[in-house]
């Protein structure tokens, strides 16, 4: 039996796994603070619900990743302080983030997160790490579908040029 057989939690992480796990924790910390700030700017109630879901998802991931880092003796990245709550009406109109921009940012973040999860899964040699990021991937995909639906329903989606296949009778 080799060093990489048996209980995955007793196997060492390779340097790529350590970096990816640590970096995803750092990004997650920033996203929590960013989404909390966006929550102050959001006016649409459906968008607020999705931001709260995104915050909750990030916090759940943070707990799992933090546990993995601690179990492996890896220091935690710094976390951004929680921003104060603000009333939307107190934010000057010119300084507000518009709802479509918030939704677009949320969509882009989810898309980037899906790619990151896939990369971590592909690089991992520990099954527990790959499975954890597989779980994160599924949660992000589900949230991404909800944000896409919201963008379509609200008319906020800006599609790329659409290809319309025109069949000729020739």
Q: In this structure, how many other beta carbons lie within 10 angstroms of the beta carbon of residue 23?
A: 13
- Per-residue pLDDT of the chain (170 residues), as tens digits, is 456 667 788 889 999 999 999 999 999 999 999 999 999 999 999 999 999 999 999 999 999 999 999 999 999 999 988 899 999 999 999 999 999 999 999 999 999 999 999 999 999 999 999 999 999 999 999 999 999 999 999 999 998 898 888 776 65
Does 82 map to a domain? no
Does 162 map to a domain? no
Helices marked H in the chain — which ranges?
A: 15-41, 45-71, 99-123, 127-154
Does 17 map to a domain? yes
Does 120 map to a domain? yes
Domain at 138, CATH number:
1.20.1260.10
| pLDDT at site 80 | 86
Does 84 map to a domain? no
Does 5 map to a domain? no
Contact criterion met (CB below 8 Å) for 57 and 164: no
How far, in Å, CA of 13 to CA of 15, rounded?
Answer: 7
Contact criterion met (CB below 8 Å) for 8 and 128: yes
SS3 assignment, position 106: helix
How many domains does one find in the chain?
1
Tokens encoding 86? 């603000």
Contact criterion met (CB below 8 Å) for 9 and 72: no
Does 40 map to a domain? yes
Structural domain span for residue 54: 13-72+99-154
Does 23 map to a domain? yes
């Amino acid at each position: 039996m080799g060093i990489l057989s048996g209980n995955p939690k007793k196997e060492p992480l390779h340097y790529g796994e350590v970096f990816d796990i640590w970096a995803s924790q750092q990004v997650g910390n920033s996203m929590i603070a960013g989404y909390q700030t966006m929550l102050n700017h959001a006016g649409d109630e459906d968008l607020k619900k999705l931001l709260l879901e995104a915050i909750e998802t990030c916090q759940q991931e943070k707990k799992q990743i933090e546990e993995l880092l601690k179990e492996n003796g890896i220091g935690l990245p710094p976390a951004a302080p929680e921003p104060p709550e603000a009333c939307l009406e107190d934010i000057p109109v010119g300084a507000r983030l518009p709802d479509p921009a918030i939704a677009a940012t949320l969509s882009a973040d989810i898309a980037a997160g899906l790619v990151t999860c896939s990369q971590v899964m592909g690089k991992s040699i520990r099954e527990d790490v790959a499975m954890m990021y597989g779980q994160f991937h599924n949660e992000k995909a589900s949230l991404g579908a909800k944000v896409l639906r919201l963008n379509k329903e609200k008319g906020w989606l800006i599609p790329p040029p659409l290809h319309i296949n025109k069949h000729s009778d020739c």
